[in-house]
Amino acid sequence: MTTRIIRLPEVKARTGQSRSTIYERIRQGLFPAGISLGGRCIGWLESDIDEWIAACIEKTRDRKAGQDPIAAKRPSTSQGGRS
Give the global pTM: 0.73
Q: How far apart are CA 25 and CA 5, in angstroms?
A: 19
Q: Does residue 56 fall inside a structural domain?
A: yes
Is position 52 within any domain?
yes
User: Could you tell me the residue range of the domain that residue 44 belongs to?
Assistant: 5-65
- List, for residues 6-32, the tens digit of each pLDDT value: 999 999 999 999 999 999 999 999 999
Question: The domain spanning residue 39 has which CATH number?
Answer: 1.10.238
pLDDT (tens digit per residue) in 32-81: 999 999 999 999 999 999 999 999 999 998 887 776 555 555 555 555 55
Is 70 a member of any domain?
Answer: no
Quick check: is 72 in a domain? Answer: no
Count up the domains in the chain and report the number.
Answer: 1
Q: Is residue 83 part of a domain?
A: no
The predicted structure's pLDDT at residue 83: 47
User: Domain for residue 36, yes or no?
Assistant: yes
Confidence at residue 79, expressed as pLDDT on a 0 to 100 scale: 55
Distances (CA, A) of 79 to 15, 76, 83: 45, 6, 11
Cα–Cα distance measured from residue 61 to residue 73, given in angstroms and rounded to the nearest whole number = 20
Flag whether 74 is in a domain.
no
